[in-house]
Amino acid sequence: MSDANVIVRTEPWNKPLPNIDQDNAPFWEGLKQHKFLVWRCRTCGACYWPKAYCRNHDNAPFLENMGWEEASGRGKLFAFNRHHTAFHPGFKNDIPYTYALIELDEGPLVSSTLVGDKQPKDVYDVGQKVEVIYEDHPAEGFTLPRFRIID
């Protein structure tokens, strides 16, 4: 992944913190290493996000047949909204922002903000290819995934 896909932010974080728990900690650790992980079944290859028991067949105890694996970090814009209201004071300088549903090339839907100059022109303008951008917050100890349109 090139440096163009990394943004480093040093200003103090004044927004809600990520919810990092026992189940998703490897995913958040992957983001810090600039890798976008999905939860993959080694029996049939199906991908999940967030973590789940593979739905296609029975599973080994505590999912020993599945694991986090690096994904392409690419997908398509599935749907989006544009926030014009800052519900939390930390977002006052961010509005309007585009909050998008991304259909990853591996299958699952994920959500994040769409950053960059290329923005969809209206709500009907979906299906564009997107890729992940890693927004590092070194002082806070986490990396957030954002997405941008690449075609």
Partner 1 sequence: MAKHPSSGKYAIIGLGVVAGPQPDHSERMVATEAARRAIEDAGLTRKDIDGAIDLRRSGGAGDRANYTDAYSRVLGLHNGFYFTVGRGGALAGLGIATALSFLDRGVASYVCLMGAVTDWSQAQESRKHGHRGMVHAEKAGYWGKPLGDLRAVSHHSWMAARHMAVYGTTSRQLGAISVAQRAWACMNPEAKMYGRPITIEDHQKSPLVAEPYHLLDISLVSDGGIAFILTTADRAKDRPKPPVYVLGQGFDEVSSELWWEKKNFTHMAVQRAKKQAFGQAGLGLADVDCAQLYDCFTGEVLFQLEDYGWCEKGEGGAFVESAAIGPGGSIPVNTGGGLLSCYHLGDLTGMAEAIRQLRGEAGERQINDCNVVLTTGHGGELLSPGMCSIHTCTLLGRHP
b/e per residue, 107-132, with b = 16+ CB within 10 A? Answer: ebebebbbbeeebbeeeeeeebebbb
Q: Considering only residues 68, 106, 113, 133, which one is a binding residue for partner 1 as defined by CB under 8 A?
A: 113
Return the residue of 29, 69, 103, 105 that touches partner 1, per CB under 8 A. 103
Specify the length of the chain in residues: 151
> What is the rounded distance in angstroms from the CA atom of residue 89 to the CA atom of residue 110?
25
The structure tokens 């991908």 sit at 47
Nearer to partner 1, 63 or 91 (CB): 91
Return the range that interacts with partner 1 (CB under 8 A); candidates 1-9, 36-44, 67-75, 119-127: 119-127
Q: Report yes or no: 56 and 47 within 8 Å, Cβ to Cβ.
A: no
Name which position in 36, 39, 68, 80 contacts partner 1 (CB under 8 A). 80
Binding site residues, partner 1, CB under 8 A: 15-19, 21, 49-50, 55, 78-89, 91, 94, 96-97, 99, 101, 103, 109-113, 123-124, 126, 144, 146
